[in-house]
Amino acid sequence: MEKFTTLESTAIPLPIENIDTDQIIPARFLKATNKAGFGDNVFRDWRFHKDGTANESFVLNDSTYSGSVLIAGNNFGCGSSREHAAWALVGYGFKVVISSFFADIFKGNALNNGLLPIQVSEGFLKELMNHIQSNPDAEVTVDLENQLLSTPVGDITFDINPYKKTCLINGYDDIDFLVSKLDKIRAFEALIN
């Protein structure tokens, strides 16, 4: 997993609520056996018409907006547990998603792939969304060590589990940790059997 420490970037506003993982990556693209290439199909059916031509009205096709921060409406990532959604966002180049609420499984999948979900209040999200929509060149800064999100509409601190924060900063994942616990796990198995 790639390390995450700080980020300074412009942002892409996507003011839609309840964006489910089927929208982030439709099921017909889940047939790969590796993690590569999902970025090409992120938000596929919003980005492209059925004939394959670009939907110019979708924000990812609007050259006004760019950056590795996605600002999305409430309850982002609901629905299917497919980690392909996180792979698709990371593959496209996103490093941070800001929303007022994240679905559980998506949040875990994002953190396991170096994609930082930052939860902010609904009021803050609305203000930030509006500002970025009318000021596409505005930048936001993320400082993970200090859990600080700096934006043109204000600076806030965000929550993250301390263990997950350490993992992101160092590029570790839970497999390393769990494998280090195998003796304890074996002892537990002996106890329950």
Partner 1 sequence: MGKTLFDKVWDAHVVDTLEDGLQVLYIDKHLIHEVTSPQAFEELRKRNISIARPDKIVATADHNTPTVDQHLPVKDELSRNQLNQLAENCKLNNIPLFGLGHENNGIVHVIAPELGITQPGMTMVCGDSHTSTHGAFGTIAFGIGTSQVAQVFASQCLLLQKPKKLRVNVNGKLKSGVLPKDVILYVISKLGTNSGTGYFCEYAGSVFEDMSMEGRMTVCNMSIEMGARGGMIAPDETTFEYIKGRDFAPKGEEFDQKVAYWKSLKTDADATFDQEYWFDAEDIQPMITYGTNPGMGIKITENIPELDDASFEKSLKYMNFRKGASLVNQPINYVFIGSCTNSRIEDFRVAATFVKGKQKATNVTAWLVPGSQRVAKQIKDEGLQSIFEEAGFQIRQPGCSACLAMNDDKIPEGEYCVSTSNRNFEGRQGQGSRTLLASPLVAAATAIEGKIVDITQN
Q: Which is nearer to partner 1, 22 or 139 (CB)?
A: 22
Alpha-carbon dihedral angle through residues 160, 138, 102, 1, given to the nearest 10 degrees: -60
Applying CB under 8 A, which of residues 56, 64, 179, 193 lies at the interface with partner 1? 179
Q: Which amino acid is at 64?
A: T
Q: Are strands 69-72 and 96-99 parallel, antiparallel or unpaired?
A: parallel
The Cα 125–Cα 134 span in angstroms is 14
Residue 173 interacts with partner 1 (CB under 8 A)? yes
Residue 2 interacts with partner 1 (CB under 8 A)? no
Are 12 and 59 spatial neighbours (Cβ–Cβ below 8 Å)?
Answer: yes
Neighbours of 142 (CB within 10 A): 24
Give me the least distance between CB of 85 and partner 1, in Å please: 9
Applying CB under 8 A, which of residues 52, 53, 134, 192 lies at the interface with partner 1? 192
Interface residues toward partner 1, by CB under 8 A = 15-18, 20, 22-23, 26-28, 30-35, 45, 50, 73-75, 78-84, 86, 101-105, 108-109, 112-113, 161-163, 173-175, 177-179, 181-182, 184-185, 188-189, 192
